[in-house]
Structure 1
Amino acid sequence: MKKVIGLMLTLILVLGGILTGCSKKDEGNTVTPDTSKKVKVGFIYVGPIGDGGYTFAHDQGRLFLEKELAGKIEKTVFKESVKEDAAEVDKTCEEMINNGVTVIIGTSFGFMEGMDKSAKKHPEIKYMHCSGYMQETNMSNYFGRDYQVRYLSGIVAGMKTKSNKIGYVAAMNIPECVRGINAFALGVQSVNKSAVVKIIWTNTWYDPAKEKEAAKALLDGGVDVIAQHQDTTGPQIAAEEKGVWSIGYNSDMSKAAPNAYMTAPIWNWGPYYVDQVNKIIAGTWKSESYWGAMDADNAKSIIYLADLTKNAPAGAQAAVDSAKADIISGKNKVFVGPIYDNTGVLKIKEGEVMTDKDMLLFDWFVKGVEGKVK
């Protein structure tokens, strides 16, 4: 992650991709030799599958793949808590390849360089990297337009807050997180012009204690709704203990904070994995840069808003449904002017729509966000 800033200029030249955002021992970490001709898929995770968030969501996608393509592929394998270090990722890829894996899926931005190095050495192996931008003939990158769903979750938060102060625990200071915060804030402002969004950066994807402490600091500052771009339920638990409200991320976090949690942007990786592996089996797979949009059918959508709980405010469901329909139809592009940054500078003119290129390089906060993009 420390190399992100240095890679931004490269991103401008290779806009085919998307910039993102995410232990214990387990039998799934043990890869045994495979002598069959069936596709064998290996997953590389940045955290443990029990994180309750990002890695858990990817692992649900892996299990969905196993179920849907049972008999067509070998049982999938995975390795948890791999460091975002090129040498470590390359080593992990080599271990998987040596044990019969023919498709490697890496699920965190920091895996990009290691996977790219491995892909260049092994043209016979198919690689899929989540949230990066590097691409080879045998390596795709993929992500979803999470900002669309962040906007919807912002509507819920904006309608719920009484203090008009909403807290947001953010992981890494990269365009993916900045983009999500801005979309969330615009959703808030669409229903509550008086509300502000306060940011604390943790500079980590997976650190339950640190995430919880960041949320507590925001709560001590008077916020009454906590949102997050983090991999665990730490911020949700902080909201629960404080007796206020929360919006999760990655997966349904209602069990962690039943009296606080209202909804969450949910990643649904399974259908994409099934589609890609089916193409590999059929011999029709081609490297791509995929940035999937929200779909009206949650089962088909790479990302969607979880069902609202009883904690959500009255009228929120109707407001979310209306905004969702407008986003899917193209009526609401989310980042359409006029939009000012939080210093008062007009960044997007009246009627102007922000390009994918600019969204992938987001380095400023919209009006109403209290925080700095470092």
Structure 2
Amino acid sequence: MNTRLIRQTLAAATAATCLWAAGPAGAEPLKVGFVYVSPVGEAGWSWQQDLGRKYMEQQLGDKVKTQYVEDVPEGADAERVIRDLAQQGNKLIFTTSFGFMNPTLKVARQFPDVKFVHSTGYKTAPNVATTNARFYQARYVAGILAGHKTQTNVLGYVGAYPIPEVLQGINAFTRGARSVNPKVTVRVIMANSWFDPGKERDAALALLDQGADVITHHTDSTAVVQAAEERGKWAIAYHSDMLKFAPHAQLGAVTHHWGPYFTKEAQAVLDGTWKPDQVWGGFKEKMVDVEGFGPAVDDALKAELKVKEDAIADGSLNVFAAPIKTNDGKVVLAEGALDDKGLNAMNYYVEGVVGTLAKQ
């Protein structure tokens, strides 16, 4: 990671990674900081988070003044960056990666008058809220797309870490694919990083070598879709639409949309009504989508996918409805559907995933 860049950011508010959107003179704007785990770049997780920041600016205008720091490693560096943003007068700080959870809580205790929102975590405090998107809902629909398009019946998945958020996506993708094509199997390689284009590319190529003809990822760069483009195979992008990086390979993209949520949180701080809520939104809340369809996806298939999206949104289709079995035959759920507690404790692969999950 670019630790020199981070040190520069901590040394001065004018560092290159900190961009300000200042309003006109007059009423003091709410200063809002963002911490990104990877470079903003042109696509991916941090890119999509930054689109949310820009949306918030557009909606609230001179009521807010925003700052961000990109490419921040999880751990001690994150704690320093978060503390620096609080010391600079930011009264609302969004920390946008799972590994920022404990650093956020630690800094929040030191700055009780600052509001914090942590993405993808599960721990709150009097001044710490959490948010997440139900990525797995869109993953299920993307799995249906992959299940229809595969010819080898082997799908590939580049994961980041074997944590519940990632496992939800892998398992939902597999269940979606097998709902239309029971012959499908999904092979997984963990990159053990959120953003490492070299590792992501190597994992993607290895999966293609194992016979996968549709690959997807839970990592931040465009490396996976670009590998599929080079090999003449299919890909489903993640976080943001990556069609311009894989114009022939991309079947579609699972995307996340943060702007309205960021705007709501900032407005609540301005109004004095902010609460340390836990928000987990999916298709119903329009926090996830499947879009960016490539030329290989016809209108009939798009319509089928839309029906599934609507069914998930209205609750008539539950991605993790019983029966649920692990890939070694253990019954996880015989009836009903997984609740949020069960989703957040997920530590297994479902039927159809090839391989063994390392014990955590």
Q: Same fold (TM over 0.5)?
A: yes
Match of 2:339 in 1: 355
* 1:3 alignment partner in structure 2: none
Find the residue that maps to 1:43 and give its secondary structure.
strand
- Give the Cα–Cα distance (whole angstroms) in 1 for the partners of residues 300 and 272 of structure 2: 49
Match of 1:77 among 46, 67, 71: 67
Question: Which letter does structure 2 place at the counterpart of 1:319?
Answer: E
Partner Cα separation in structure 1 for residue 21 and residue 286 of structure 2? 33
* Alignment partner, residue 171 of structure 1: 160
Q: Does 1:274 find its partner at 2:259? A: no
What secondary structure sits across from 1:93 in the alignment? helix
Does the aligned pair in 2 maintain the 1:185–1:368 contact within 8 Å? yes
1:124-203 correspondence to structure 2 within 5 Å? 124-203=113-192
| Alpha-carbon shift at residue 31 of structure 1 (Å) | 7.0
Are the equivalent residues in 1 in contact too, given 2:22–2:62 (CA < 8 A)?
A: no
CA distance in 2, matches of 1:288, 1:114: 19
**How many angstroms does 1:339 deviate by?**
1.8
Q: What secondary structure sits across from 1:226 in the alignment?
A: strand
> What is the letter of the counterpart of residue 83 of structure 2?
E
Output the aligned Cα RMSD.
2.0
User: Match of 1:305, SS?
Assistant: strand
Deviation readout 1:93-122 (Å, 9 max, x if unpaired)? 222122221111100011111110111111
Letter in 2 for 1:77: Q
1:175-202 C-alpha deviation (Å, 9 max, x unpaired): 1101110000010011101111111111
Contact 2:256 2:288 in 1 (8 A): yes
Amino acid in the other structure paired with 2:347: D
Q: Which runs of 5+ in 1 are unaligned?
A: 1-22
Q: Structure 2 CA distance, aligned partners of 1:225 and 1:176?
A: 21
Instruction: Give, in angstroms, the shift of residue 33 of structure 1.
Output: 11
**How many residue pairs end up in the alignment?**
345
Runs of 4+ in 1 over 4 A off after TM superposition: 23-26, 30-36
Q: Distance in 1 between matches of 2:89 and 2:231?
A: 49
Query: Residue deviations 1:200-219, cap 9 Å, x none?
Result: 11101101111011000010
In structure 1, C-alpha distance between the alignment counterparts of 2:42 and 2:102, rounded to whole Å = 24
Query: What residue identity is the alignment partner of 1:244?
Result: K
Q: Would the alpha carbon gap of residues 51 and 33 (structure 1) be closer, same or farther in structure 2, given more than 3 Å must change? A: closer
Question: Matches of residues 1-374 of structure 1 in structure 2 within 5 Å?
Answer: 27-29=16-18, 37-50=28-41, 52-74=43-65, 76-85=66-75, 87-295=76-284, 301-312=286-297, 315-349=300-334, 351-374=335-358
What letter matches 1:226 in structure 2? I
Quick one: which amino acid aligns to residue 172 of structure 1? Answer: Y
Classify 1:33/1:305 alpha carbon distance in 2 versus 1 (closer, same or farther; 3 Å): closer
**In 2, distance between residues paired with 1:90 and 1:256?**
34
* C-alpha separation in 1, matches of 2:20 and 2:89: 8
Q: CA deviation at 1:51?
A: 5.5
Provide TM-score, normalisation by structure 1: 0.88
Please report how far the alpha carbon of residue 30 of structure 1 lies from its aligned counterpart in structure 2 after TM superposition.
6.1
Find the residue that maps to 1:275 and give its secondary structure. helix
Distance of 1:32 and 1:254 partners within structure 2: 29
* 8 A contact 1:31–1:96 mirrored in 2: no
Measured against aligned partners, the alpha-carbon deviations of 1:309-339 in whole angstroms (never above 9, x if no partner) come to 2122673212211211211121111111112
Q: For residues 319 and 32 of structure 1, what CA distance do their matches in structure 2 show?
A: 42
Q: Flag structure 2 segments of 5+ consecutive residues without an equivalent.
A: 10-14
